[in-house]
């Protein structure tokens, strides 16, 4: 099985580089380093590097590798950055970010479901990741206590850009979130260029599980 995983992984990286899906070498390094098979359920491990989302617990999913690549790259991460994630899920996205921001950086990730908090904790421990802090809470209002952040990533579908998250972003910081209907969203990259000034870029259509909580879907 290990050989299949390595081959699939290599093929994905080649595809990204050839088609210029990923230009950020730091993402490729992190992707090589973190074993995705450690973040998915036993029965899907063989499919760890196939390019589609996989079920985790509670009807939630770990995003497909290409989606993770596009979102991570859009965050324009640097070593030492402090990053907030909404929707820990398996903990994989947080692990990838934590490698890129390095020891001096920090990832705060919020998850609304207790069973997924436990799942992610276990997975991150297996991967030997130490600079990720998981918060069991509704992240739709962000996490004020550690604000402001250099980057914020939402990995669940938002009905609109959560205002609280924009408030918790540093000036010059970037928020990446899928925004739209419950069935289809546009991936928005929002750069905060002034206290109340933003530059919005549309990265294309995606489909995520819904954001719950105060500023999510009822």
Cβ 141 to ligand SAH, closest distance in Å?
A: 8
Calpha distance 100→118 (Å, rounded): 23
Which of 65, 89, 178, 180 is in the footprint of ligand SAH by CB under 6 A?
Answer: 89
When asked if residue 123 is in the footprint of ligand SAH (CB under 6 A), the reply is: no
Which of 148/213 has CB closer to ligand SAH? 213
Q: Which of 65, 105, 139, 142 binds ligand SAH (CB under 6 A)?
A: 139
Tell me: does residue 206 bind ligand SAH (CB under 6 A). no
Q: Using the rule CB under 6 A, which residue among 90, 98, 168, 185 binds ligand SAH?
A: 90
Adjacent-strand bridge partners of 111 = 136
Extract the tokens encoding 1.
């099985």
Closer residue to ligand SAH, CB minimum distance, 197 or 218: 218
- Separation of alpha carbons 66 and 14, rounded Å: 12
What does the alpha-carbon distance between residue 82 and residue 131 come to, in Å, rounded to a whole number?
A: 10
Q: Looking at beta carbons, which pairs linking 22-25 to residues 24 or more positions away fall under 8 Å?
A: 22/69, 22/70, 22/73, 23/73, 24/72, 24/73
Tell me how far, at minimum, the Cβ of 161 lies from ligand SAH, in Å. Answer: 14
Which listed residue (63, 67, 73, 98) binds ligand SAH by CB under 6 A? 63
Buried b (16+ CB within 10 A) or exposed e, 85-113: bbbbbbbbbbbbbbbbbeeebbbbbbbbb
Part in contact with ligand SAH (CB under 6 A); list of ranges 41-49, 54-62, 185-193, 197-205: 54-62
**111 is an interface residue for ligand SAH by CB under 6 A:** yes
Q: Which helix (H) or strand (E) holds 197?
A: strand 197-206
Distance of CA 120 to the CA centre of its chain: 13
Give the residue numbers annotated as catalytic, written as ranges: 63
Among 12, 62, 107, 190, binds ligand SAH (CB under 6 A): 62
Segment lying near ligand SAH (by CB under 6 A), choices 99-107, 137-145, 163-171, 182-190: 137-145
Give the residue among 186, 185, 138 at the shortest CA–CA distance from 165.
Answer: 138
Stretch in the footprint of ligand SAH (CB under 6 A) among 4-12, 27-35, 85-93, 176-184: 85-93
Tokens for 93, please give them: 């996205």
**Can you give the binding site for ligand SAH, defined by CB under 6 A?**
60-63, 86-87, 89-90, 92-93, 110-113, 116, 138-140, 155-156, 209, 211-213, 216
């Amino acid at each position: 099985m290990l050989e299949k995983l390595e081959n699939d992984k290599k093929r994905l990286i080649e595809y990204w580089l050839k088609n210029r899906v990923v230009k950020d070498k730091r993402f490729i390094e992190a992707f090589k380093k973190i074993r995705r098979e450690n973040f998915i359920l036993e029965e899907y491990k063989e499919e760890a590097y196939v390019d589609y989302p996989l079920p985790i617990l509670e009807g939630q999913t770990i995003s497909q590798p290409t989606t993770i690549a596009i979102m991570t790259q859009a965050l324009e991460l640097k070593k030492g950055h402090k990053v907030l994630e909404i929707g820990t899920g398996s903990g994989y996205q947080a692990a990838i970010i934590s490698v890129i921001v390095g020891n001096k950086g920090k990832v705060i990730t919020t998850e609304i479901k207790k069973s997924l908090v436990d799942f992610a904790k276990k997975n991150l421990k297996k991967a030997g990741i130490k600079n990720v802090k998981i918060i069991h809470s509704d992240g739709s209002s962000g996490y004020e206590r550690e604000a402001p952040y250099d980057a914020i990533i939402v990995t669940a579908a938002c009905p609109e850009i959560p205002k609280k998250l924009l408030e918790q972003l540093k000036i010059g910081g970037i928020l990446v979130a899928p925004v739209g209907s419950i069935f289809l969203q546009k991936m928005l990259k929002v750069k905060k260029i002034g206290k109340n000034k933003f530059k919005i870029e549309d990265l294309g259509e995606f489909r995520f599980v819904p954001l719950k909580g105060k500023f999510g879907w009822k």
